[in-house]
Amino acid sequence: MDERRWNRAVVTGGAGFLGSHLCERLLSEGSEVWCVDNLVTGSRANVTHLEEHPGFTCVEADVTGPGCLEAIPGPVDLVLHLACPASPADYLRLPIQTLEAGSTGTRNCLELARRDGARFLLASTSEVYGDPLEHPQREEYWGNVNPVGPRSVYDESKRFAEALVTAYRRTHGTDTSIVRIFNTYGPRMRAGDGRAVPTFIRQALDGEPLTVAGDGGQTRSLTYVDDTVDGIVALAAAAFPGPVNIGSCEETTMLDLARRIVDLTGSASTIRFVDRPADDPARRRPDTSTARRELAWSPRVDCAEGLKRTVEWFARSALL
C-alpha cells in the first residue's frame, strides 16, 4: 500500500456526520482541508471545533450547482466525495436532491479531481447490494436492487455514481477509487436522522419505547466511525481503485441492538414493534477480504465499545 499524504484535500459533505470526522482526521495529519457542504443534512456544529484551525476552510455550497467548486484554489491533490443524504428519512424527503448528488454532484467533483490530477474517492454504500441474495456480500456481487422502490433514489444514485467514476478512470485516466461503506455509527449523528442507532439511543434516553421494525430479525453490521475513517483514508492512500467494502463482520439483529442500547443506557424503555419499511434489507454483512488484503484494514472497535462511546456522547450532547 502506498503511504500518500495530501497537501490540500476537499471533502464534500464535510459538515455531515462522517465527513466531519474525515476533516478532523486529515487536519491531524497535516493536510489543508476544504469542507464543502450545503448544510441540508450536515451542520456547522459538527465542524465548529475546526473553524479556528489555520488549515480548515468551510464553504457552504451545493456540489450539484454549476461552478460550485471553481472557487477552491488549486492544486488540490485529494477529493473525497461524501455529499449526499445518507439516512432513509433524509433521502425519502429529498429524492431529487439525492439523485442529483450522485449524478451531477459526482461529475462536478470528478472534474475538480481531473483539473488538478488529484486522487478521487467516492463514498458509495452497502445499499448498492440492495436486499442481497448473497451473504456475506463480496464486491463482485451485482446486488438485488428495486430500481423503482422507495429506496431506489439512494441505491441507484450510488450505483450510477460508481459507473461514472469508473468511466472517468477508463476514459480520462482519472485516479479514482470507490469505497462501499456499511452501516457506520458514532458521535455527531443527528438524533432524529431516522437510523437505528441514534433513534434507539434517543428513545432510550428519553424513556420512550424503542421502535423496532418488523420482528427485529433483520441484521446489520455496525462499524464505529473511527474504523470507517481508517478504511477510507487507507484506500485514499493506496493505488487500488476498488470498490472496497469497509464494514464490520460483527452482524447483529435490530432487536438485539435495541436491547443492548436499553441495557447501556439503564433505561426503563420497552420495545414496540412497528411496520417494516418497503425493501428493507433482511441481512447485511460485508466480505472484507479485499480490505484486509489490499489495505491491511480491519475494524478495531467492537460493537460493545463503540455503542458505549456513542451513548456517552448522546447523553452529554446538547442535541438531546
Beta bridge pairs of residue 11: 35, 80
* Total Cβ atoms within 10 A of residue 256: 15
Contact criterion met (CB below 8 Å) for 78 and 35: no
Residues forming beta bridges with residue 96, ordered by sequence position: none
Q: Which of 91, 129, 141, 154 is catalytic?
A: 154
Q: Which is nearest to 62 in space by CA: 37, 84, 79, 99?
A: 37
**Between the CA atoms of 110, 96, 156 and 291, what dihedral angle is there, to the nearest 10 degrees?**
50
CA dihedral for 122, 87, 139, 246, sign (positive or negative): positive
Is residue 168 part of the annotated active site? The answer reads no
13, 44, 113, 155, 267 from 10: Cα distances, Å: 10, 16, 10, 24, 41
The Cβ-side half-sphere exposure at 73, using a 13 Å CA radius, reads 4
| Nine-digit cell string for 39 | 448544510
Supply the residues annotated as catalytic.
154
